[in-house]
Structure 1
């Protein structure tokens, strides 16, 4: 104790003060698929494996160079956009479609081993990283896989890109109505891309390149930018014709977007067109709103382990709030958010609550909305005609 008798000098380190807050890593892809020709030592079945932006390691998913399974093509699609952190789960490649779906879904067995999509939940513990951009290209058009991607996105505070199995615009809208998860974005149609091993064009699920695009945007611009209206690398065509005009909403693209489906348009390159999620709550209609909420929640939560179990005091409470508000000012200055504030609500913190070791702090925030609809109002006027008389 500082009050204990001591004949000499004592130095006490004061640990009060505001702690800096580091934004959580957002551009981490999590993907599940098949690769029968993979190196089993590098990519064992049903294990989360980290690729740190290395095409060389990704190539070990296809040791024969034949491009078998879904993962080799997905890796190519992602690396065409950026070389990100990728958590890969390889599952067994089987012939029966229903059995294959079950392999992708995965299970947690009696020993606690996670397989398939369930293995993504182990990445934080086994790899020290949490995937936040989820997909299973080649399988997400199956309803059970799409649903499970949404569930895993909820568990991880992540976002999932799901392909529609539709062959027409109308079928795509019917498929979209099966979802109500704010962490899911439906994409239609698919891409036409060049397959080097086959030496021919093939169709590729749109979600494969969406995974890479999302990681690229997080790295280059930020998580507040939606996936829409950015040129996609490595695309040669689409599997269906999608009519679109920038100034006409009565088109295929306009109809798809009105029904919360992200499509693709061609204007100086192929681009994703659409920013809306499957949320039934208008507050989370935009991809950017969902991801902003997730980033703030994890950034604030993960940054305050230092405060847990410290003696509660006005100084501690103020330091926590000051740190959070300092982070909010930083995010505002870089235009990641419009604004946000952390504050203490006395009504939430009763004497009984404080006595039981509980403290509640509120924060509110405004995410940056995308400029989805730009309008100009034109008015004809004669007031400029007098300039015709300004003869020199």
Structure 2
């Protein structure tokens, strides 16, 4: 199995649903994906799955979020349980369709469409192989954001500008809105400095949203894979690997070093460290939400109350980064008593049992 712990080690029992094809879950309906093979929707035909995947690929440059949802769904439905040849054909067809759809908009849109297609295909493959762990999810988002920044930088270089300039243009075009909001000249200069420094965070945010759409598509697909077993992750057991924590510590140290020695360290140090910190915050917030979901499920919180609690948690995160703090504390305190270190690796290496 990919992650879990035994029932005889003094720890709370593992919530069912670790492999997606297990028994239906109880406890407030907080499970991401229940077993739907008995009463769920019919299995999606291969041809329809391919059509949805191609439709998403053609719209990757214009509506990337919807495209990720369709490609994640179609790629998993079409490829689950099939050989490498089928996977290669699905991937090739999807990427070609992404290129064609991007070319209709313009040559500059082709790389972005291909990046969206690669993200969706990678997410579907990771879910199918049972490898969609928190570290893999973070890596997919980070690689996608880096690729999008590289594509934007190349386009800006060919146009003789810089990526940050496009964000400044948007800011300048909305000066009247800023003035109406009571932002004076000194504050506008501060806003402009912040935009020039933290514009890469916009790409990491976009990558995260696209990944969530692709992941949602694979979740919908998993419900329809009746004859093909797919191991689906349980969000309540979301637990960040140590390398993400190391990135957080390094980014925080970089920000502190810049703040205390601004004359020594240039703005590049703040740009790299600050944007890394903003990106890792999303992962920490996810860990905090996972702690909330895990505890509500163990206490069998009613579904309506659980949804209200999650909405409240999201509000507190946006306003006061509460869930990020909870996630950071959970990394050190392990509120859920999840297996970590050697114990986690031993469990992950256990042979799967049907």
Fold equivalence (TM over 0.5): no
- Higher relative strand content: 1
- Higher relative helix content: 2
Ranked by relative contact order (alpha carbons within 8 Å, sequence separation 6 or more), the top structure is 2
Flag the structure with larger Rg: 1
